[in-house]
Amino acid sequence: MVDITTLNHGTELVKRGFAQMQEGGVIMDVVNSHEAQIAEDAGATAVMALERVPADIRADGGVARMSHPDMIREIMETTSIPVMAKARIGHEDEARVLENLGVDMIDESEVLTPADPFYHIPKKDFTVPFVCGCTNMAEAVRRIVEGAAMIRTKGEAGTGNVVSAVQHARLLNSEMRYVSNYSENHAEVVEQIIQPFKRLNDVSEFNLSIEQTPFGSIDELNREIEQIVSQIASNQRLPVVTFSAGGIATPADAALMMRHSMDGVFVGSGIFKSSDPRQTAEAIVLAAHHHDDSAKVEEACRMAGTPMPGLEIETLDVRMDKRGW
């Protein structure tokens, strides 16, 4: 990870500093003040305030939007730990509302219905830090270039199935090792990463030849991507805190993702769709904190309630992890 004291932009320093404070922890989705208190009592480092956990969003269908401000504020007034909230991909004005509310971090989330088919939110324009999802290294680098202070692997939210989270973590780690071992390929890697910023070219009837984006010119993005890829090559990790999310349903799942070199985990449906949310929350925190101690992970598994029913990824009508680019 980049030494944040070397960052010369004050806001960037504060954003990444806040993200680093979550390192090693568990962030829990909550839908009301009661669940927020369960999360805080269990030892969560932060909560994600939303009207429905991902399993319910998936089951209900339709367009999923930012949660109501009153609901978010109620949770903010209840808990003493940081409160995060979700905005739709590319929906800058939902993010502005959340920033004005005073949330501690915004998740530009694929769990909600994307608002912009071409661009994510220009996160550097905000003072509040952002977390964004990724399925691979290229996607992670694009979000960091846009201003994300934290990255999380997407997994497949609301399924109780950890397989996609594992897939994304393995792919991310393998690609970071690749750029570390083959430095001569950086130019090709940078070119592959930058291509999605030109998506408008692919749908226009004209040869637009995109040179400007909401995040700066293509040349400026190219230079920033080169810097980030070089940092990854040197450190074999992303320059920001990296969590895992999507499908984590048991203490063993949380320990597994921590052993995949994740800095922490997001858990939502896996806690509050279990038979005993309070015990399961405490158990997942215990397993995450002691992921390298199999006796502690066993203890956590004995503590937890019956896990939520899971879904096979192949049977899903909507793949949330495919949202974003």
Catalytic residue among 15, 86, 123, 273: 86
Do the beta carbons of residue 237 and residue 144 sit within 8 Å?
Answer: no
In the predicted structure, residue 214 carries a pLDDT above the cut 90: yes
198 labelled catalytic? no
Torsion sign across C-alpha atoms 30, 68, 81, 46:
positive
| pLDDT reported for residue 57 | 85
Q: Taking residues 257-279, what's their average pLDDT?
A: 92
**Partners of 29 in the beta sheet?**
48
Assign 3-class secondary structure to 62-122.
CCCCCCCHHHHHHHHHHCCCCEEEEEECCCHHHHHHHHHHCCCEEEEECCCCCCCCCCCCC
Burial class (CB in 10 A: 0-12, 13-18, 19+), 213: buried
Do the beta carbons of residue 29 and residue 273 sit within 8 Å?
Answer: no
Lowest mean pLDDT among 7-11, 58-62, 218-222, 274-278: 7-11
- State the average pLDDT for the chain: 91
**Structural domains of the chain, with CATH:** 10-176+241-317 (3.20.20.70)
Q: What angle do CA 81, 8, 262 make, to 5 degrees?
A: 45
pTM, two decimal places: 0.91
Phi and psi of 21, rounded to 5°?
A: -65, -20
Residue, of 198 and 184, whose pLDDT is higher: 198
Express each pLDDT in 71-98 by its tens digit.
Answer: 999 999 999 999 999 999 999 999 999 9
Burial class (CB in 10 A: 0-12, 13-18, 19+), 324: buried
Torsion sign across C-alpha atoms 107, 43, 265, 3:
positive
